[in-house]
């Protein structure tokens, strides 16, 4: 889609940002944005090598009943992602290995 087509969908309230201040990641429905959707949005925004971390990872694996207030993500040590409302970024040291788990979801 063109930028104009995307802006048109947002202006008509058919689409919305998946998370505050995360441009380029949209929800294509008008309902509430879930915590899991925000997790995906922040991971897509952070790019390759990003993973859910700490309390958010615990929640995603069913080790917590309720999600934390913020989405916690881990990013590689050479990446810098600006902290935003609802997001907590943690830098993974390059010496840490085997600390991410691939999955069909965050």
In the chain, domain spans: 3-92
What is the reported pLDDT for 4?
93
How far, CA to CA in Å, does 41 sit from each of 2, 93, 95, 97, 105?
20, 23, 27, 24, 12
Query: Could you tell me what percent of the chain has a pLDDT over 90?
Result: 45
For residue 72, pLDDT over 90 is answered with yes
**From CA 49, how far away is CA 5, in angstroms rounded?**
30
What is the reported pLDDT for 5?
94
Does the reported pTM lie above 0.85? no
For residue 83, pLDDT over 80 is answered with no
Through-space distance between the first and last CA atoms of the chain, rounded to whole angstroms: 26
What is the reported pLDDT for 94?
62
């Amino acid at each position: 889609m063109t930028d104009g087509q995307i802006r048109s969908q947002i202006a008509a309230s058919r689409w919305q940002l998946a998370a505050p201040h995360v441009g380029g990641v949209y929800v294509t429905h008008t309902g509430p944005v879930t915590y899991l959707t925000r997790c995906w949005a922040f991971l897509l925004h952070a790019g390759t090598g990003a993973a859910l971390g700490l309390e958010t990872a615990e929640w995603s694996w069913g080790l917590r009943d309720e999600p934390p207030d913020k989405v916690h993500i881990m990013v590689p040590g050479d990446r810098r992602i600006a902290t935003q409302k609802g997001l907590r970024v943690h830098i993974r040291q390059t010496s840490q290995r085997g600390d991410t788990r691939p999955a069909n979801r965050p």
